[in-house]
Amino acid sequence: MTDLSTTLAGVKLNNPLVLASGVRGNNAGLLIRAAMEGAGAVTSKSCSLQPREGHPNPTMMQKGDFMLNAIGLSNPGVEDEIGEIKEAVAHAGVPVIASVYGGSAPDFEKTAEMIAQAKPAIIELDASCPNVHREGEMFSSSAQSASGLARAVKTRLKAQAKTASIPLFIKLAPNVPDIGQIALECQKAGADGITAINTMPAMWIDVRARKPVLANQYGGLSGPALLPIALRCVHAIRKKCSLPIIGGGGVNSGEDAAAMLMAGANAVSIGSAVYYRRNAFGEIRAELQEFMQEEGFARVSDIRLEE
Ligand SMILES: Cc1cc2nc3c(=O)[nH]c(=O)nc-3n(C[C@H](O)[C@H](O)[C@H](O)COP(=O)(O)O)c2cc1C
């Protein structure tokens, strides 16, 4: 018998596959559908204090083993999102992770405080979106700014009895010199978990049109090509930080998910795989279970690198 369950900061998941933020949008119906397809938890697309239109089209492209996107965090704003999260919490049947984004620490604090009304199982701070500022400045760029953000939001949530117990995860970016140190400083600042990684800044050029393919010129790379980068990041985080990790980036099969768990993740996010595979959650879950049976792993937490 294999046991696929796992725990993230006290939140129990029946299997370790987590819908990554953004790939199914802000709508409750699509989050609920991912749960029905077999996700162990679902993450909403990041929402901000005010509605955001996002970037002009084209915002996405796919080529072979990678995708690029520069959606620009289009979302209806937190007021609308509270209703969507409430509906998802009521009907998904799995933990709902609410992702929030802000242009400043006070924006993040207010948005997290508001979304907490919907009682998500976890709040995730998107401190690492590469597409909002062209020059790539992100909260997760340095240990100081990432941990400052984690501390500010955690303090705000702890100030009220209703929100104090909601675990706070912070999502980190791969394009930094020492992601392990950033995660460690976030742990010291009071974060309850780490999500890693967000997309990798990239671009593609249509040489016949002599133009970048995305209207924003630059976008974030996701999909299978991202997996080796993500594994290295999660491994580096686990070396320094003892918080639970939702590890992801390029996971497209059960063996990819097993690799992510071996690198040190406690749960595995599934993003672009929903574009590559028709029944990504059902199939990847079955493949992971088969791998565990073949390799003699009884529990998800047993899947570790050899010492
Ligand atoms: C279309 C699209 C939209 C995304 N939107 C968000 C978002 O709003 N917030 C966020 O934290 N990550 C967002 N991401 C990043 C994913 O959550 C994930 O971290 C990234 O795609 C790498 O994982 P993958 O290779 O499994 O897709 C988005 C990714 C894609 C492809």
Atom 3, ligand 1: residue with shortest CA distance = 22
Q: How many helices (H) and strands (E) does the chain have?
A: 10, 16
* Strands 211-212 vs 168-172: parallel, antiparallel or unpaired: unpaired
- Look at residues 202, 175, 174, 197 and name the one whose alpha carbon lies nearest to residue 63: 202
Assigned domain for 21 exists: yes
Question: From atom 21 of ligand 1, which residue's Cα is the shortest distance away?
Answer: 222
Ligand 1 centroid vs 241 CA: distance in angstroms? 23
Q: Residues 149-161: pLDDT tens digits? A: 999 999 999 999 9
- For ligand 1, the distance from its centroid to the CA atom of residue 154, given in whole angstroms, is 23
Could you tell me if residue 211 is inside a domain? Answer: yes
For ligand 1, atom 6: residue with the closest CA: 22
Kindly indicate the confidence band of residue 134, based on its pLDDT and cuts at 50, 70 and 90: very low
Q: Is the pLDDT of residue 132 over 70?
A: no
Counting from 1 in the atom list of ligand 1, the atom nearest the Cα of 222 is 25
Mean pLDDT of 234-255: 98
Query: Is 129 assigned a catalytic role?
Result: yes
Q: Provide the residue type at 201 as one letter.
A: P
Examine residue 154 and state whether it is found in any structural domain, yes or no: yes
Tell me what the mean pLDDT of segment 85-94 comes to. Answer: 98
Report the atom number in ligand 1 closest to the C-alpha of 128: 11
Instruction: Report yes or no on 84 lying in a domain.
Output: yes
Range 213-237 average pLDDT = 97
In a domain, 63, yes or no: yes
| 1 part of a folded domain | no
Q: What is the pLDDT of residues 164-173, one digit of tens each?
A: 999 999 999 9
307 within some domain: no
CATH of the domain at 85: 3.20.20.70
Q: Among residues 246, 250, 281, which one has the least CA distance to residue 266?
A: 246
Which residue from 17, 19, 21 has its CB within 8 A of the most atoms of ligand 1, so it is best to mutate? Answer: 21
What is the C-alpha separation between 125 and 99, in angstroms, rounded? 6
Structure pTM? 0.97
The preferred substitution site among 198, 256, 275, 281 for testing ligand 1, maximizing ligand atoms within 8 Å of CB, is 198
Give Cα separations from 61 to 110, 149, 174, 202, 267 (angstroms).
Answer: 33, 32, 20, 12, 27
Percentage of the residues of the chain whose pLDDT score is greater than 70: 97
Distance CA(273)–CA(256), nearest Å, equals 11
Nearest Cα residue to atom 7 of ligand 1: 22
Domain extent at residue 235: 6-302
Number of domains in the chain: 1
Mean pLDDT of 245-253: 98
